[in-house]
Amino acid sequence: MALHANRIRIFFEKEEKKKKKEEKKETGKGKIGKIFSLRFLLFWGGIVGAVLVGSYFLVGRITGSSTASSAEEEIITEEAPMGTIYSLDSVTVNLAGEGARRYLGVTFFLELDGAEAMKEIEELKPFLLDSLITLLSSKRLEDIDTIEGKNNLRREIVAQFNERLVRGRVINAYFGKFLIQ
């Protein structure tokens, strides 16, 4: 019996030692677990905070810039309203240059600064068409084949028409048809 009681006592002592070891491990894990989770929370909390702050400023810039650009568009629209559009007759001319004969067929729309300019264009139409034909027939294919050449031609036409006009002025010239053959 004494042997049996001794075994029971040894068994309980071993169990107590196991419990103490487990408690030490649990308390150790608990501290490490708490530290780890605290670091984990601080790290991810910082990341989330940085993202929120960054997105706040980014959204502010995007919203602010779109507001500014729409305000600029309104200002530009208010400053430069579309003028009166006048359709000029279609003009066909031979281009200058040697070699194969080429011709240019053009239809223009003139943007005018008002009704007074439109009346003046009607009065001077024969003279304006004559100066337009003279200008176009002096051009070579190389002069008007590129976009830059077409833009230069447009500016020349506006300048030439404005030289003749007294009461109004041409703001811009637009091509309706531009055919080279």
pLDDT of residue 51: 84
Q: What pLDDT score was predicted for residue 84?
A: 86
> Are 21 and 103 part of one and the same domain?
no
The domain total for the chain is: 2
Give every CB contact of residue 121 below 8 A, 6+ residues apart in sequence: 86, 110, 112, 128, 161, 165, 168
Which of 172, 177, 150 has the alpha carbon at shortest distance from 161? Answer: 172
pLDDT at 65: 52
Q: What is the pLDDT of residue 61?
A: 65
Please check whether residues 47 and 96 belong to one and the same domain.
Answer: no
> For position 105, what pLDDT does the model report?
93
Q: In terms of domains, do 90 and 138 share one?
A: yes
Examine the domain organization and report whether 130 and 160 are in the same domain.
Answer: yes
- Residues 73, 142 within the same domain: no
Whether residues 107 and 26 share a domain: the answer is no
pTM equals: 0.54
146 shares a domain with 60? no
Of 81, 97, 112, the domain-final residue: 81
- Residue numbers in the chain where pLDDT is lower than 70: 1-6, 23-36, 60-80, 100
Q: Are residues 63 and 144 in the same domain?
A: no
pLDDT at position 34: 58
Structural domain ending residue among the three candidates 81, 109, 137? 81
**Residue 57, CA distances (Å) to 45, 60, 64, 65, 91 in order:** 19, 5, 10, 12, 57
- Provide the domain limits for residue 12: 1-81
Q: Are residues 91 and 173 in the same domain?
A: yes
**Residue 104 forms beta bridges with which residues?**
93, 180
Listed residues 65, 81, 97: the one ending a domain: 81
Q: What is the pLDDT of residue 31?
A: 58
